[in-house]
Amino acid sequence: MALPMSTVTDEFHAAIPRPVRRYAVCSPDHFAIGEEINPWMCRSNQPSHDCVQDQWSGLMRTLATLGATVDVIPAVPDLTDMVFTRDSAIVLNGRAIKGRFQHRSRRPEADHVMTWLGSVGCAPADFAMPAHAILEGGDVAVFGGRLLIGFGYRSNRAAHAALSDGLGVTVHSLRLIDPRFYHLDTCFCPLDERHALIAAHAFDRASRRLLWELVPEPLELRIEESLHLCANAVVLGRTVVMPHCPPRLATLLHDHGFEVRVVPVEEFKKSGGAVSCLTLPLDRCV
C-alpha cells in the first residue's frame, strides 16, 4: 500500500506533540529472513510476500484510523530487516541519534534512515557516540519523562553513558537475560505516566526491582503472553495497538482504562518483530 508522505514543517522540532502521534515506517518490499540474528529467525521459514503486504497495510490503516501521522521511508534492496525502523535511529526532543547495530549486516540501515530523517528536517543530535558504543533503537524507551535503555544483547552500557551525557538526563539501565527478548521493546511497553506492560522474566533481578520502583502501576505479562510479543506494541492515547491479546490481558488493560486494537503481524514475528519494531516514533521527549 502506497501512503502519501505527510506534510513536513520547515522546523521539525518546532512543536512536539504529546502523546506520540507521528511515526516513520519502512515499506516491506524487501523483507525476508536473512542472517539469523535472534532465536526467532530461521531462513527455512520465510515470510509470505502477499501476507507481509497485507499485514503491514493493516497496521498502517490502524495507525491512521487512530489519528497517527505516518511517514514512509523507501525500502532498500538487500536490507531485509530495514522494515524494522525502530532500530535504526532514536528521535528525542526533535533530534535524531543514529543507531549503531550489533550485527554488521544491519549497519547500512542506519545510514539510510538518518539520511531520510535529515531530508524531512530532523537534524542529528549535537553529540557523538563513542566508537565502542552499540545502541539499537528497540532498546530505548521513554517512561514518565525518564529514559530507560536495555542492554545485554544488542546495546551496551557505553551507549547509555553517551546518551546520558549528550542529553543531560539520567539513564536507567535494564539488563535483559533471555535471548528471545533481545530488545527492551519486546518486554517493556510504556502505556501512560503510571502504567507499563512488563515481561518481568526477561530482566535480571536488579532490573526488575528498578522497574517496580519506576512504574507506579506495572501490568505484568505472563510468559505465554510475552512470547506472543504482546509488549511489542504502540500506544495512541488510551488505545494499545498490539499483535495479539489473550483474554486475561485484554481484561487487565480494560480494567486500567485502555482499549486494545489487535493487528496481526505474524509474518514479521518470524523475525522476532511486531508492532513496535515496525514503527519509529518521531515525537518523543525526555
DSSP state of 223: H
Active-site hit among 26, 187, 230, 277: 277
Please identify which residue in the block is written with the cell numbers 544483547: 153
285 is catalytic: no
277 is catalytic: yes
72 sits in which H/E element: strand 69-73
Q: At 275, list the grid cell.
A: 508492532
Q: Give the integer Cα–Cα distance in Å for 231 and 172.
A: 19
Active-site hit among 160, 172, 183, 228: 183
Q: Give the integer Cα–Cα distance in Å for 182 and 185.
A: 9
Q: What does the CA dihedral 85, 2, 17, 239 come to, rounded to 10 degrees?
A: -80
Please identify which residue in the block is written with the cell numbers 540501515: 109
Catalytically annotated residues: 183, 277
